[in-house]
Amino acid sequence: MSLVSKYMLNIPEWEYVNLDAMSYSRVSKFMKGGIEAVLTPVEVSKSISFGSLVDVLITQPEEKFNDLYHVSEENITFSSKELEIVTKCYELSEHTTDYKQLDSLTISSLYDLLPKNYKITTREKRIAELLQAKYNYYVTTIGKTIISKDTFEDAKQCAVLLKNKLKSLVDPTHEIETFYQAKFLQNLDGIDYKCMFDVLIIDNADKIIYPIDIKTSYRDEKDFLNPYAYFNYYVQAEMYTDILTKVVENAPELSDYWIHNFQFLVINRANKKPMFWTHDKRKGKEILPNYKEYAKRLLKILELNSNLPEMLNETQCKEILLK
């Protein structure tokens, strides 16, 4: 077993997401918009969606991609009634995957889902036409994100370029270990923190650990400083580095390993010129806001709210923190 891997969380991503621990995203939201931002669901932008796609292509096996995405140029939409009918058909047929294999009894049981004033022949025709046109597409795309071929090709190109850039980071003749989506849980100053590195490269020859996060930016790669500041990415770099430092400090077999400055590997979908941005942890400690102070405040508010019948508003939270 790797010297580092035995300290990782060996759990699926959904379980990691549900871990009750402080995270970069929580602290960053709190810093930007207070408790309301933490509790408000985030809309997934096109940029975030594309970034997630690239991450999957880099860090996950092909089967995982196929579970999450469907590549298609078809733009088939469903009305609420059509969706109700095909969903019901899928359930009644015990998840039959091909329209041609549906039995007549299953199909006839769908007729009552159409208005009663329709003639039986009209209902038969409407159901048959709907299933023939859309049933197979529905089954193929259940629970998946539908992406165009152009988007898929762009993402594949970005993934290949990013992987090549990662290879350039270390001497290829060295004994190298590369981990994707490496998850950790550590207690820092009395608070549990969790993190998931997009990429963690271990150079066992030079004894260097490279923590890396991949960012697909809507800006030119050279302009990453703007999103770096706006999205509080320095908080991610600081928090992840502190967690990894704690891991190394508690692992005697890693005592002579050095943690490289946290790096963001940035790529723009249009430019496709990946480059590394390095976070200087020494300067970060000196001039940037201390994320741990924000984490303490956030934890205090969340603990107070859990004991109250109604959620505190932003003003009430500030009043409590000032006491």
CATH number for position 218: 3.90.320
My answer on whether 176 and 141 are in the same domain is no
> What is the residue-wise DSSP string for 42-96?
PP--HHHHHHHHHHHHHHS-HHHHHHHEEE-S------HHHHHHHHHHHHHTTS-
Q: For residue 119, is it within any domain?
A: yes
My answer on whether 132 and 79 are in the same domain is yes
Q: For residue 151, is it within any domain?
A: no
My answer on whether 141 and 176 are in the same domain is no
The mean pLDDT of 83-90, rounded to a whole number, is: 93
Q: For residue 196, is it within any domain?
A: yes
The mean pLDDT of 289-314, rounded to a whole number, is: 76
Domain ranges, residue 136:
74-145
**Domain count of the chain?**
2
- CB contact at 8 A, 212 and 197: yes
My answer on whether 232 and 119 are in the same domain is no
Express each pLDDT in 176-216 by its tens digit.
999 999 999 999 999 999 999 999 999 999 999 999 999 99
For residue 36, count other CB atoms closer than 10 A to its CB: 13
Q: What is the pLDDT of residue 308?
A: 45
Q: pTM for this structure?
A: 0.83
The mean pLDDT of 156-178, rounded to a whole number, is: 95
User: Which residues, in sequence order, are CB contacts of 250 under 8 Å at separation 6+?
Assistant: 7
- CB contact at 8 A, 82 and 118: no
The secondary structure element, H or E, covering residue 140 is helix 136-141
Q: For residue 165, is it within any domain?
A: no
- CB contact at 8 A, 138 and 91: no
